[in-house]
A and B are shown apart, each in its own frame.
Chain A
Amino acid sequence: MEWEVVIGLEIHVQLTTKSKIFSGSSTAFGADANTQASAVDLAMPGTLPVLNEQAVKKAILFGLAIDADICRDSVFDRKNYFYPDLPKGYQTTQMDFPIVGAGIVEITLSDGSTRSVRVHHAHLEEDAGKSLHEDYQGMSGIDLNRAGTPLIEIVSEPDMRSAEEAVAYLRKIHSIVTYLGISDGDMSQGSLRCDANVSIRPKGQEEYGTRAELKNINSFRFVERAIKTEVLRQIELIEDGGKVRQETRLYDSDKNETRPMRSKEEANDYRYFPCPDLLPVHVEQSLINELMAQMPELPDAKRQRFETEFGLSAYDAALLTGERPVADYFEAVASSAGDAKLAANWVNGELSASLNRENLSITASPVTAEQLGGLIQRIRDNSISGKIAKQVFDALWNQEGDSADAIIDNKGLKQVSDSGAIGAMVDEVLAANPEQVEQFRGADEGKRKKMLGFFVGQIMKASKGQANPGVINSLLNEKLGG
């Protein structure tokens, strides 16, 4: 039977506020355990929450970015359950009146096709602390530094039909929140976390199958693998006559398998009700207007602009706009180089390969946008060939000089176009290879073209790559033809 995969994602995004959503504790990552847990965060008796203005503004910005309705009077609710990383015994979240209503996100797949994924809503809530399972006297340790970090939870409709689409959607959300500057999007630190609801149904069937919820799949790669693994599990299960259970499962990346979470086996009843310690969050139109005015250019708009303004291919433009720092870097290179296409080739090519090789983000690139722009200028004015340019790039990468010009000067890499100097090299090469010269002269037009490459290569080698290829070609033709 042919199966259709149905996926919905719940994405938790930590907002980049200085202080927590309901207290004045720092949200900085990596502090010593419980040093950023105030009386409010510890749920000391008698303490009360007061809402952080920036958390609200950042949530609204997200809503505006996905063209969603902003709830003008959103309400915080209490979600009741017991867990040691949840100090109050309830999570303060939003249920019936989330701050961000339905919105839409466009995704682009690798074949260039696009799809829309509907966002059901996004709500503000507080993060929980962390349980550390290393053995402390046979017990678990609880660190509440993270408790109260502001989150938005972005809940999609079950609109995705493959693991690839799910990853594209997750990347798009990542791209939107980092463009907006409302989150650092760092999945390795848990700033962006993803749960996936996965089900399958026979192709053509309208009714959804029973879904499993995959928890905490925290890298783009694992999202794809976890979903694929879960889909295979469900298909095998059903084809063997079994039934999918509605349950929460944990993805084990080491074993590449999903398994039920023991702590979630018990059916829960969260008893949501409006939090009486917080009043409705009223959003004025003026605030929406103010945030609208602050809205930066978003990935889709930027991609289109790169295509029209710079004449880039859809593929290049998509690559360059996936992450805002890459787009910013590219624009800086393009403006300093004066050639956007070359800039795109270099950023997507050599630079991207080097960054990947050393596992660096573009913000940590040893080659600055200005340096790369300077390098491209020298290619454009024929001071260096493409081949030499790569050499100069490597030297910049290794911090061997402050600029392309300095490196070219120091190493004497400037392209030689002087026909006298190149002519002498041509003569030398022809003299050293009489057999090949003989063969060339006896060959027909088609073969000659191929053989010419041999001589060019030899001369380039002799010039250490600095000879202008155009000059070499014309001199060779002249001398061999003679």
Chain B
Amino acid sequence: MPNHTIADILRGLEAKTFSSEEITQQYLDAIAKHDSNYNSFITVTAEQALTQARAADTARQNGSAGALCGVPIAHKDIFCTEGVRTSCASKMLDNFIAPYNATVVDRLANAGVVTLGKTNLDEFAMGSSNETSFYGAVRNPWNTDCVPGGSSGGSAAAIAAGLAPAATGTDTGGSIRQPAALCGLTGLKPTYGRVSRYGMIAFASSLDQGGPMAKTAEDNALLLQAMAGFDHRDSTSMDLAVPDYRAGLNKDLSGLKIGVPKEYFSEGLDPEIASAIEASLDEYRKMGAEIKSISLPHTHLAVPCYYIIAPAEASANLSRFDGVRYGYRCENPKDLDDLYTRTRAEGFGEEVKRRILIGTYALSSGFYDAYYRKAQQIRRLIKQDFDEAFKTVDIIAGPTTPNPAFALGEKVSDPVTMYLEDIYTIAVNLAGLPAISLPAGFTKGKPIGLQLIGRDFDETTLLAAAHQYQQRSDWHQQAAPGSV
């Protein structure tokens, strides 16, 4: 089982080397035995997983197997799963048994996946370290004194620890790519509108996008294939054909123009990361790609812009948590006001409250123009930077993060420093572009992520570029020290 990829598992299932029930049981055992080291799962749905696995085995025998039939995966606990607690890692939803499935959950179920459970995350996906979870911090399997990144830290840690071959994640400012980078995985943030947001608990609606996390680009392609596509329940979902991603993995990349933004190699970047990225670019040169220096002049404004837009949207998105229809309600509210103010004070954690207050401020009368409107204008400038760059290059490459995984607790008391760790990932969400992070080396035993950013809806080129690099490197095959 160690280092199984989805592709491996599918081969094993097809060859009847093992059944879905067997492999599912192995993962469930591994979770039971080892997850106390990582805290990567909030809820393990063992019984349901085994039922699904047996059904998958039957389907496979009957020849009615979906593309991912019998493959166990985990869902970030931000996707609604009917009948299963969907907590968003918040006390607010600790008792919330979702009454319906997210579109992503339904689509993967239709493809035949087995759900091992729900993974930990920063509360309401607000964080880059997975330290804000109501269920406690998650540890990085490469170094358990370090954070796994966030907000999809539970998904990343589970895969890196061998407790799941793959998982879903969501990415609002880097929440798939940054934990993928910090845990030595491959994770893809699809183009905004490629994957339905229906049933994915909203943090910042114009930035959120669900996507796959796994060991390889090939697995990302397999998962994205099942997740992607138009959903009539999501007005921001785009009605576009979904290409065959697996078939695209080997598309000819000779002559591919890769832009390298000079702003992504400025001060603050760990020198070992810088050289690892340079080395991976050399590899692309050898593959026939053309590397070009480009400029994304508004890069330094991405974090400021994001920390207005995301909290502003969140401040409204999180107003529904009021103790009336579901979720946490404070004890013995003495009146309506008390019900609201105490439910929300007790139900939300500190980071969430802070962001709600910032968002409230940015939208409040007298400050809207200076903050919210300004941020929306800056957002356009950032998007225009990318539009300009894509006139001359096919993809953009750079580090996913300026530093490798940092120590638990290190940045908790200094949010601004933590926010700045997302400097390379955030602009991508503001522009709505697809981007992938893939392993590109190690520094002091911690993984390094290479980020590739693509044109709107061109996930195919990103997956191909990542896959073909992985055919020539073995960073993605390295196993974390304690992994199963």
Direct contact of A and B (CB under 8 A): yes
Chain A residues within CB distance 8 Å of chain B: 39, 42-51, 78, 80, 82, 84, 87-90, 142, 269, 271-273, 276-279
B197 contacts A48, C-beta separation under 8 Å = yes
Within 8 Å CB of A48, what residues of B? 197-198, 233-236
A43→B205 CA distance, assembly (Å): 14
Interface status of B80 (Cβ within 8 A of chain A): yes
Among all A-B residue pairs, the 10 with the closest Cβ atoms: A89-B319, A271-B363, A276-B205, A276-B206, A46-B199, A43-B320, A45-B201, A46-B201, A46-B80, A269-B365
Report the Cα distance A42→B99, complex, angstroms.
11
Bound complex: CA A273 to CA B365 (Å): 11
Note all chain B residues with C-beta closer than 8 A to A51. 235
When the two chains form the complex, which single residue of B93, B198, B200, B364 contacts A271, counting CB atoms closer than 8 Å?
Answer: B364
State how many angstroms separate the Cβ of B140 from the closest Cβ of chain A: 28
B313 — which chain A residues lie within 8 A by C-beta?
Answer: 276
A-B pairs with beta carbons under 8 Å apart, 27 shown:
A44-B80, A44-B325, A45-B86, A46-B79, A46-B98, A48-B197, A48-B198, A50-B233, A51-B235, A80-B315, A82-B319, A82-B322, A84-B324, A87-B320, A87-B324, A87-B325, A88-B320, A89-B319, A271-B316, A271-B363, A271-B368, A273-B316, A273-B372, A276-B204, A276-B313, A277-B236, A278-B235
Interface residues on B, range: 35 or more
A88 to B319, CA, bound (A): 6
In chain B between 203 and 232, which residues have their CB closer than 8 angstroms to a CB of chain A?
Answer: 204-206, 232
B202 at the interface (CB under 8 A from A): yes
Q: A273 with B363: in contact, given A39-B100, A89-B319 (CB under 8 Å)?
A: yes
- SS class, residues of chain A in contact with chain B: loop
* Docked CA distance A47–B199 (Å): 6
Chain A residue contacts of B93, Cβ below 8 A: 45
Contacts of A44 in B (CB 8 A): 80, 98-100, 325-326
B28 within 8 A of A: no
CA of A198 to CA of B368, assembled, Å: 30
In Å, the complex CA distance between A87 and B79 comes to 20
Closest to A83 in B: B336
Cα A51 to Cα B234 in complex, Å, equals 10
What residues on B are CB-neighbors of A272 within 8 Å?
363
A279 touches B236 (CB 8 A): yes
Most buried by B among A43, A47, A80, A142: A47
B 314-345 contacts with A by CB, 8 A: 315-316, 318-322, 324-326, 336, 340
Task: From known contacts A39-B99, A276-B205, infer whether A45 and B320 are also in contact, taking CB-CB under 8 Å.
Answer: yes
| Contact partners of A49 in chain B: CB under 8 A | 235
Report the nearest B residue to A81, measured CB to CB.
B319
Q: Complex formed: what's the CA distance from A59 to B420 in Å?
A: 46
- Contact of A84 with B363 at beta-carbon distance under 8 Å, contacts A44-B99, A48-B234 already known: no
Contact B320 A80 (CB under 8 A): no
Please pick, from B102, B206, B372, the residue contacting A46 in the complex, using a CB distance under 8 A. B102
Residues of B within 8 A of A142 (CB): 324
Chain B residue with minimal CB distance to A76? B235
Shortest Cβ gap from B482 to chain A (Å): 34
B265 at the interface (CB under 8 A from A): no
Min CB gap A232→B, angstroms: 33
Q: Which residues of B contact A277 (CB under 8 A)?
A: 202, 205, 235-236
Say whether B428 faces chain A, with CB atoms less than 8 Å apart. no
B235 CB contact (under 8 Å) in A43, A46, A50: A50
- For B102, the closest partner residue in chain A by CB is A46
> Across the interface, which residues of A come within 8 angstroms of B202, CB to CB?
45-46, 277
Judge whether B312 is part of the interface by a CB distance below 8 angstroms. yes
| CB nearest to B373 among chain A residues | A273
Which residues of chain B come closer than 8 Å to A269, judged between CB atoms? 364-365
Is the C-beta of B442 less than 8 angstroms from some C-beta in chain A?
Answer: no
Q: Given the complex of chains A and B, what is the CA–CA distance between A277 and B197 in angstroms?
A: 10
Minimum CB–CB distance from B353 to chain A (whole Å) comes to 15
**Other contacts beyond A48-B197, A273-B312: 15, CB < 8 A:** A43-B320, A44-B99, A45-B201, A46-B80, A46-B199, A48-B234, A87-B320, A89-B319, A90-B319, A269-B364, A269-B365, A271-B360, A271-B365, A272-B363, A276-B236
Q: Are B340 and A82 in contact (CB under 8 A)?
A: yes
The residue on A at minimum CB distance from B324 is A84
- B424 to chain A minimum Cβ distance, whole angstroms, is 23
B88 part of interface (Cβ distance < 8 Å): yes
B96 proximal to A (CB < 8 A): yes
CA distance A257 to B80 in the complex (A): 50
Q: Which of A39, A45, A89, A273 interacts with B88 by CB under 8 Å?
A: A45
Using CB atoms, name the residue of chain B closest to A24: B233
A82 to B340, CA, bound (A): 8
For residues 27 through 76 of chain B, which have their beta carbon under 8 Å from a beta carbon of chain A? Answer: none
Q: Which residue of A lies closest to B336 (CB)?
A: A84
Task: Choose from B232, B316, B326, B363 the contact partner of A89 (Cβ within 8 Å).
Answer: B316
CA distance A269 to B320 in the complex (A): 18
Q: Which of B93, B326, B363 has the most CB of A within 10 A?
A: B363
Residues of chain B within 8 A (CB-CB) of A279 are 235-236
Which residues from chain B contact A47 at a C-beta distance below 8 Å?
Answer: 198-199
Out of A78, A87, A278, which one reaches B316, CB within 8 Å? A78
Q: Complex Cα distance A276/B93, Å?
A: 23
A45 to B322, CA, bound (A): 12
The residue in A45, A49, A51, A78 that gathers the most chain B C-beta atoms within 10 A of its C-beta is: A45
Complex contact B322–A89 (CB within 8 A): yes
- B316 engages A90 (CB within 8 Å): yes
Smallest Cβ-Cβ distance to B92: which chain A residue? A45
CA distance A43 to B99 in the complex (A): 12
Q: Could you tell me if A45 and B80 are in contact, using CB atoms closer than 8 angstroms?
A: yes
Measured between beta carbons, the chain A residues less than 8 angstroms from B340 are 82
- CA–CA, A296 and B320, complex, Å: 42
Closest to B363 in A: A271
Report how far A78 CA is from B312 CA in the complex, Å: 11
Contacts of A39 in B (CB 8 A): 99-100
Q: How far, in whole Å, are A222 and B243 apart by their CA atoms in the complex? A: 62
**Residues in A whose Cβ lies below 8 Å from that of B321:** 45
Q: Enumerate chain A residues within 8 angstroms of B102, measured Cβ to Cβ.
A: 46
